[in-house]
Amino acid sequence: MSMPSAVADREITFAQAVREALAEEMRRDPAVFILGEDVAEAGTPFKVLSGLVEEFGTERVTDTPISEAGFTGIAVGAAMTGLRPVVDIMFGDFLPLAMDQIVNQAAKVHYMSGGKLRVPMVVRTNLGATRRSAAQHSQSLHALLSHIPGLKVVLPSTPYDAKGLLKTAIRDENPVVFFEDKLMFHLKGPVPEGEYTIPFGVADVKRQGTDITLVATSSMVQVALAAAQILEKDGISAEVIDPRTTVPLDARTIVESAKKTGRAIVVDEGHERYGVTAEIASVIAEGAFYHLDAPVKRMGAMDVPVPFSPALEDLTVPTAERVAEAARALCGRT
């Protein structure tokens, strides 16, 4: 069950948290295995999986050819027949290559079979720009997956959440798409030694506040927290809420906060248009309609392919300063 995220004696990185979750689950359940490109000896280009192949062998940490559709499809079949694959899609940008397997197969098998077949698999992948990797290695495509019934979508924003949510994902009986923020792998945070999981659909109030609600996902949680600090100096008390899973979405916690504060900004690194900010903003606008003092503000990534040049790339993603500025405007303090 969920635990307060701040209480722990040790700090580990986000990458370590992911690795620990995998290792613990693989020890617990021999059906769990990892499939993906350069996951074994290389431990992925991000080195997130380093050491796992040494403990579990290449049977359970298996390098694949560069065949995202193929190995995701293989995972679907393995999941239907008793295994619990964790598939590694090296960059979230490559999800479109495996889209048919995820959207038309994994997400639908349980329903189409009237509940007879199950697909307990995890697709681990990532999101996030500002790494100077250009348009095909920088996307945050979680909105696409969140739109498809049958999938669950997880967006951890701290080492603590990453570990607890990944363990839940692996134990879930459904296909779960798990997005890690590439820029967060080295971020350290408190993670207790002991076993814990975090339930899906339970938002985490990362910071309490009274004047405005900042709903932020994944990479944008730190941005929102930094914005809240800036705002504090201006005498604006911001509440930061991290939904942690877009599907299922903890609409209640989000709406209650917006009702309390009367103002809300939704910050997410996916493109703004037809993205996650649209869903959450309309959930708030509907649920807190009679309590809102200002329109809900959406701040997603710009609706442009991610540019390579640092001079441009940094403009495309919400920053603490811009979020704080928007918050001040919403609070009538400009």
Catalytic residues: 137
Output the six-digit token pair for 138.
């920088």
- Rounded-to-integer distance, Cα 300 and Cα 127, Å: 13
| CB 54 to ligand TPP: min, Å | 22
Residue 195, contacted partner among a copy of itself, another protein, ligand TPP, none, CB below 5-8 A by kind: none
Closest CA to 279 of 175, 168, 153: 153
Instruction: Confirm or reject binding of residue 308 to another protein (CB under 8 A).
Output: yes
User: Using an 8 Å Cβ cutoff, are 212 and 234 in contact?
Assistant: no
276 neighbors 245 (Cβ within 8 angstroms):
no
Site of interaction with ligand TPP (CB under 6 A):
37, 66, 68, 90, 94, 97
- Count CA within 13 A, CB hemisphere, residue 223: 29
Site residues for another protein, window 119-178 (CB under 8 A)?
Answer: 120, 131-137, 149-150, 152, 173-174
Minimum CB separation of residue 229 from another protein in Å reads: 26
Give least dist CB 90 to ligand TPP, A. Answer: 5
Token pair, residue 234, equals: 């201006």
- Of 54 and 173, the one with the shorter C-beta distance to a copy of itself is 173
Q: How far apart are alpha carbons 7 and 195 in whole angstroms?
A: 14
Query: What's the CA gap between 128 and 331, in Å, rounded?
Result: 29
Is 33 one of the binding residues for another protein (CB under 8 A)? Answer: yes
Question: According to the binding rule CB under 8 A, does residue 319 interact with another protein?
Answer: no
78 vs 249 by CB, closer to a copy of itself: 249
Q: Which stretch binds another protein (CB under 8 A): 20-28, 100-108, 236-244, 288-296?
A: 100-108
Q: Which of 59, 235, 290, 332 binds another protein (CB under 8 A)?
A: 59
Q: Counting contacts by CB under 8 A, is residue 312 touching another protein? A: yes
94 vs 178 by CB, closer to ligand TPP? 94
Question: Least distance from C-beta 69 to ligand TPP, angstroms?
Answer: 10
Q: Give the nearest distance from C-beta 68 to ligand TPP in angstroms.
A: 6
Pick one of ligand TPP, a copy of itself, another protein, none as the site partner of residue 173 (Cβ within 5 to 8 A by kind). Answer: another protein
Measured from the CB of residue 135, what is the shortest distance to a copy of itself in angstroms?
Answer: 5
Out of another protein, ligand TPP, a copy of itself, none, which partner does residue 146 contact, by CB within 5 to 8 A per kind?
a copy of itself
321 binds, among a copy of itself, ligand TPP, another protein, none (CB under 5 to 8 A by kind): none
Residues in contact with another protein by CB under 8 A are 33, 37-38, 41-42, 45, 59, 63-67, 69-83, 85, 93-94, 97, 100-101, 104-105, 109-118, 120, 131-137, 149-150, 152, 173-174, 302-305, 307-312, 315-316
